[in-house]
């Protein structure tokens, strides 16, 4: 297999006519790939299979649905095993140890390629936007056939064709970012729920975070393109969408005619047939009162907000370049709860950021006590090469950090359990997501506040919104029963 490498540099905005030409070009490669897959099928007597391993955030999960959409459209079948004809790793690089885990795993699956030389192995995602990592894969992992990053996901049909039909090893490090990916076919994990990208990239440059360097500067999609995508999803059976961006609150600032996130949310609520709207992730520094008002007045917007704290210490927040303080964060939560008392608040917290003292950590515990989070994703700070914080001289003592993490988790869990207790006995709508794999005769779904509920039911309820009485709180989820199963004596 010969090697074809592309290292084009970032470009400017692309005229609409050129965008359409590019989309048409990729569609032509899709058609060619269908022929290629059919030939493979005739040669082997079976349908070629694919497997995608997804790492990281909801943005990556949505990207994997697009990759799966292309592979399904050309005639390949998804399989649960990594012993597939096409094996893709959609990577996350937020934490450096994620890169090392991938390399370790690549060493383990190399024998698949030895046993099946026609197998295609590809790596994509955020990690492949790092030049050093691309060089490492190119030189040390020669059995990897396809490498591309987040900026050129839309070119996947062309790159895949080069590998399968032309027998090239393809390493494409294009850095020009466009909206082409939003016109790719999609294979959703759940037929009734979907993520929808509204922005790409990030302009915040938190000192611990690599995302702006690998996903690029912030770019907003045109509102009409977003709304058209959601209308098409609803027509295809979707009941709930999650609007996705590294910072959804800053949506619209890069548009020629600026549109606020609150305005986009209002317009999304007007789409007939759409029943629930979530969004991920808002940044506390620019969450507007107008957005709070939309959440209060629009019943389709779920009663849940994920509001990353990261640290409760104003001093540490400044070192993180977060652009808010402990006091302003708490004031924001009070404004939200004053308008929407029933809302569930979840968060992200980093423990052991460089320079964190016990006093700083106590500030974090103070915020946890006052907010009473329904849940918190807690992380021990991990030095990330390429970020400013990695060079801070006052890295934390591991033993102290481990002790703080334990105390934080214990406190978060105590408040999360209390938060769940408050709705016990109520009857609330639940979107049923799956047949419960642990308890026979039960299904599982989510409340508007994002908590899970398990109750008697069968597969016919999956994808439906049903009223469920919450009969018992078990700390992080509820047991319940359907309203039409409640007998009045």
**Residue 142 confidence (pLDDT) above 70:** yes
**Residue 5 confidence (pLDDT) above 70:** no
Angle at 329 between CA 326 and CA 332, to 5 degrees: 150
Most confident of 139-153, 159-173, 227-241, 415-429: 227-241
**Residue 432 confidence (pLDDT) above 90:** yes
Average pLDDT over residues 390-405: 93
Within 10 angstroms of residue 21's Cβ, the number of other Cβ atoms is 11
Per residue in 39-78, pLDDT (tens digit) is 999 999 999 999 999 998 888 999 999 999 999 999 999 9
**Residue 340 confidence (pLDDT) above 60:** yes
Among 89-103, 421-435, 436-450, which stretch is predicted with the lowest mean pLDDT? 89-103
> Residue 51 and residue 270: Cα distance in Å, rounded?
37
> Residue 274 and residue 239: Cα distance in Å, rounded?
5
> Residue 285 and residue 445: Cα distance in Å, rounded?
32
**Residue 259 confidence (pLDDT) above 50:** yes
What secondary structure, in 3-state letters, does the chain show? Answer: CEEEEECCCCCCCCCHHHHHHHHHHHHHHHHHHHHHHHHHHHHHCCCCEEEEEECCCHHHHHHHHHHHHHHHHCCCEECCCCCCCEEEEEECCCCHHHHHHHHHHHHHHHHHHHHCCCCEEEEEEHHHHCHHHHHHHHHHCCCCCEEECHHHHHHHHHHHHHHHCCCEEEEECCCCCCCHHHHCCCCCCCCCEEEEECEECCCCCCCCCCHHHHHCCCEECCHHHHHHHHHHHHHCCCCEEEEECCCHHHCCCCCCCCCCHHHHHHHHHCCCCCCEEEEECCCHHHCCHHHHHHHHHCCCECCEEECCCECCCHHHHHHHCCCCCHHHHHHHHHHHHHHCCCCEEEEEEEECCCCCCHHHHHHHHHHHHHHCCCEEEEEECCCCCCCHHHHCCCCCCHHHHHHHHHHHHHHHHHHHHHHHHCCCCCEEEEEEEEECCCCCCEEEEECCCCCEEEEECCHHHCCCEEEEEEEEECCCEEEEEEHHHCCCC
Among 48-57, 108-117, 187-196, which stretch is predicted with the lowest mean pLDDT? 108-117
Average pLDDT over residues 3-29: 61
Q: Cα–chain-centroid distance for residue 3?
A: 32
**Residue 23 confidence (pLDDT) above 90:** no
Share of residues in the chain with pLDDT > 70 (%): 93
**Residue 16 confidence (pLDDT) above 80:** no
> Residue 324 and residue 374: Cα distance in Å, rounded?
22
The pLDDT of residue 14: 43
Among 13-22, 167-176, 404-413, 468-477, which stretch is predicted with the lowest mean pLDDT? 13-22
> Residue 304 and residue 343: Cα distance in Å, rounded?
5
pTM: 0.88
Average pLDDT over residues 237-258: 95
Average pLDDT over residues 344-359: 97
Q: Are 114 and 100 in contact (CB under 8 A)?
A: no
Angle at 440 between CA 420 and CA 374, to 5 degrees: 15
Residue 174 Cα distances to 130, 142, 399, 436, 450, angstroms: 12, 20, 43, 43, 38
Among 9-13, 40-44, 46-50, 186-190, which stretch is predicted with the lowest mean pLDDT? 9-13
Average model confidence (pLDDT) for the chain? 91
Q: Are 44 and 131 in contact (CB under 8 A)?
A: no
Among 43-57, 168-182, 196-210, 347-361, which stretch is predicted with the lowest mean pLDDT? 168-182
> Residue 229 and residue 182: Cα distance in Å, rounded?
8
């Amino acid at each position: 297999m010969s090697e074809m490498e592309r290292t084009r540099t970032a470009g400017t905005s692309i005229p609409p006519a050129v965008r359409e030409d590019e989309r048409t070009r990729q569609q032509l490669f899709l058609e060619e790939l269908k022929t290629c897959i059919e030939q493979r099928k005739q040669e082997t007597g079976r349908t070629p299979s694919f497997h995608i391993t997804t790492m990281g955030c909801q943005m990556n999960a949505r990207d994997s649905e697009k990759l799966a959409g292309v592979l399904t459209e050309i005639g390949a079948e998804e399989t649960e095993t990594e012993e597939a004809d096409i094996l893709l790793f959609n990577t996350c690089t937020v934490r450096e140890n994620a890169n090392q885990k991938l390399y370790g795993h690549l060493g383990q699956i190399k024998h698949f390629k030895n046993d099946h030389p026609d197998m295609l192995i590809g790596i994509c995602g955020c990690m492949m936007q790092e030049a050093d990592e691309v060089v490492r894969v190119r030189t040390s992992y020669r059995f990897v056939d396809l490498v591309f990053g987040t900026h050129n996901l839309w070119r996947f049909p062309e790159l895949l064709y080069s590998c399968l039909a032309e027998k090239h090893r393809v390493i494409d490090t294009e850095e020009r970012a466009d909206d082409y990916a939003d016109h790719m076919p999609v294979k959703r994990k759940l037929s009734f729920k979907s993520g929808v990208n509204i922005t790409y990239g990030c302009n915040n440059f938190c000192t611990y975070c690599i995302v702006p360097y690998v996903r690029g500067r912030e770019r907003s999609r045109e509102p009409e393109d977003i709304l058209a995508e959601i209308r098409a999803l609803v027509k295809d059976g979707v009941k709930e969408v999650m609007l996705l961006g590294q910072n959804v609150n800053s949506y619209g600032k890069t548009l020629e005619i600026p549109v606020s996130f609150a305005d986009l949310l209002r317009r999304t609520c007007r789409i007939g047939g759409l029943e629930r709207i979530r969004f991920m992730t808002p940044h506390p520094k620019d969450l507007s009162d107008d957005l709070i008002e939309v959440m209060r007045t629009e019943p389709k917007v779920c009663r849940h907000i994920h509001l990353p704290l990261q640290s409760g210490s104003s001093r540490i927040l400044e070192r993180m370049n977060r652009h808010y303080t402990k006091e302003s964060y708490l004031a924001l939560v009070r404004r939200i709860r004053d308008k929407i008392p029933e809302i569930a608040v979840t968060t992200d917290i980093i423990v052991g950021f460089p320079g964190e003292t016990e006093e700083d950590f106590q500030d974090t515990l103070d915020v946890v006590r006052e907010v009473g989070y329904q849940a918190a994703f807690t992380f021990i700070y991990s030095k990330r090469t390429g970020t400013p914080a990695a060079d801070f001289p006052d890295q934390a003592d591991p033993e102290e950090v481990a002790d703080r993490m334990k105390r934080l988790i214990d406190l978060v869990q105590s408040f999360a359990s209390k938060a769940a207790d408050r709705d016990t006995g109520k009857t609330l709508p639940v979107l049923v997501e799956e047949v419960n794999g642990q308890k026979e005769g039960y299904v599982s779904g989510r409340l508007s506040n994002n908590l899970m509920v398990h109750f008697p039911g069968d597969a016919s309820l999956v994808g439906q919104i049903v009223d469920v009485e919450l009969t018992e709180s078990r700390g992080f989820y509820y047991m319940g029963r359907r309203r039409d199963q409640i007998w009045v004596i």
